[in-house]
Amino acid sequence: MPLSDLPVEDLADLYENAPCGYVSIAPDGRIAKVNRTLAEWVGRAEEDLVASPFNNLLSFGGKIAVETHLAPMLRLKGQVAEIALDLVGADGSKIPVIVNATEKRGDNGEHVLTRMTLFKAVDRRSYERNLLAAREAAEAETLAEHETATLREQFIAVLGHDLRNPLASLDAGVRLLDKEALSDRGRFILGGMAKSVARASQLIDNVLDLARGRLGGGLVLTRDAKEPVSPVLEQVVAEIQSIVPDRPISTIFAVDEPVYCDRQRIGQLASNLVGNAVAHGAPGSAIQVEARTEGSDFVLSVTNSGETIPPDAREKLFQPFFRGGTGRTRQGLGLGLFIVSEIAKAHDGSIEVISSDGITSFIFSMPRHRYQPATI
C-alpha cells in the first residue's frame, strides 16, 4: 500500500483520546494540561482539572508517597517508571494505574513541567496484590513452621539434658552393685542393665548433638594433635566388646603420626560406627575396625557382614531420623550416622559407605594436619 493511501493520524485527537491518560504538571503541583481520557477516568471535566492540584486526584496515601518518594526521584533522576498509584474519581472510587513520568527541563536545567503517562491497571494490580498476599501468607507459614521446629528442638535439648542426671545415678548404682556379692542371675541382670544404661546414654548424646547442630550452635571441636588417637579407639572398642562379649571384634590400629582432631568426638564417631555394625551386622558375625594413616590422611573403617544396603538407602543413611532395616534392627532414633557425618564434616573429613556381596564398610577419612592456607 503506498504511503499516500495510509489514513492520516490526527495528533490532537491522539492526545485527547489516547488509550492512556496524559497529564502535565507545573512545578507548583497544579495541572497545566490533561487529556480527555484521564478526565473521563476520574469523572471530571478537563477545564475543571486544569489549574487544580494534581495531588487532589490521589488518595491521601498516594499524596504522601508522591511527596516523599516520587517528587525526589523525579527531581534527581529526571524520570520514574512503573509506579503503582490509585487515582480517586469524582464519585470516590479508586482507579488503579501504573504511572511513568519525566521532567521537562528548560535550557538552564530548570524544572518546567512534569509529564505523566497513566495506564489503567485494574486487573494487573489486583493480580499483583493477590501475589503479594500469597507471598506474605507463605512467609508467615514458613516463619511459624520454623518457630515450631526451633521450639521442638529446644525441647529435645532440654529433655536430653535433664535425662542425663537420673541416668548418671543409675550408672553409679550399677557400678556400685557390680562390686557387691551377687548371684549368677543377679550378675546377669546387672550386665543387661549396664548395656541399657550405656545405650541410653549414647542416644541422649546423639539427640543433644542433633539439637545443638539444629539450633545453630553446631558441633564445637577442641582439636589438637598432642596425644595419640589410638588409645581412645581402643577404649571405645573395649567398651562395646564388654557389652557384646560374644561378638568377635578385631582391630588393626596403625596410627603412628599425630592426628589433629577432637579425640573425644573421634571416639564418639567410632563408637557410633561400631555400635551400628553390632546392631545391623548379621547376628554373631565378626566386625573389623581399622585405623591407619594414609599419606596426609587419617582413615578409620568399620566393616561387618550382613545384608547389603540398597543403593537408594545409602543416600539417606546420613540424614537425621533415618532408620534402615526391619524387625530386630529397627531401633534407636536414626541419629547415629547423622552425628557421624556431622563429626566428619567438622573435621573437614568425609564419610562414605561401601556395601556389596553382604559386606558393608563405613570409611571415615580426614586430613591429619591442621589446615594451612597456601602461601603465595
Partner 1 sequence: MALKRNNVRVSGQGDRAMMFAHGFGCDQHMWRDVAQGFEVDFKVILFDHVGAGGSDLAAYDSTKYGSLGGYADDVIEIARELDLRDAIFVGHSVSAMIGALAVLKAPDLFSDLVMVGPSPRYIDDGDYVGGFTSGQVGELLQFLADNHLGWSAAMAPAIMGNADRPELGEKLTESFCATDPKIAAEFARVTFFSDNRADLSRVEARTLVLQCRDDIIAPQCVGEWVHAQLPNSEYVLLDATGHCPNLSAPAEVTAAIRAFV
Give me the residues that bind partner 1 (CB under 8 A), please: 27-29, 53, 55, 59-65, 67-69, 71-73, 75-79, 82-85, 105, 109, 111, 125, 128-129, 132
State the minimum distance, in angstroms, from the CB of residue 63 to partner 1: 5
State the minimum distance, in angstroms, from the CB of residue 84 to partner 1: 4
* Nearest to 355, CA basis, from 302, 319, 294: 302
What contacts 21, CB < 8 A, 6 or more positions away?
Answer: 34, 35, 37, 38, 41, 97, 116, 117, 118, 119, 120
Can you tell me the distance from the alpha carbon of 304 to that of 323, in angstroms, rounded to the nearest whole number?
Answer: 18
**If you search the block for the grid coordinates 471530571, which residue do you land on?**
44
Neighbours of 260 (CB within 10 A): 18
Q: Which three cell numbers stand for residue 176?
A: 556400685
Which helix (H) or strand (E) covers residue 116, if one does? strand 111-120
Instruction: State the DSSP string of 92-104.
Output: S-EEEEEEEEEEE
Instruction: State the DSSP string of 269-325.
Output: HHHHHHHHHHHHSPTT--EEEEEEEETTEEEEEEEEESSPPPHHHHHHTTSTT---S
CB closer to partner 1, 96 vs 336: 96
* Nearest to 369, CA basis, from 302, 293, 300: 293
CB closer to partner 1, 88 vs 177: 88
| Adjacent-strand bridge partners of 302 | 289, 362
State the minimum distance, in angstroms, from the CB of residue 297 to partner 1: 38
State the minimum distance, in angstroms, from the CB of residue 62 to partner 1: 6
CB closer to partner 1, 106 vs 216: 106
CB closer to partner 1, 49 vs 270: 49
CB closer to partner 1, 36 vs 63: 63
State the minimum distance, in angstroms, from the CB of residue 25 to partner 1: 11
State the minimum distance, in angstroms, from the CB of residue 110 to partner 1: 11
CB closer to partner 1, 133 vs 215: 133
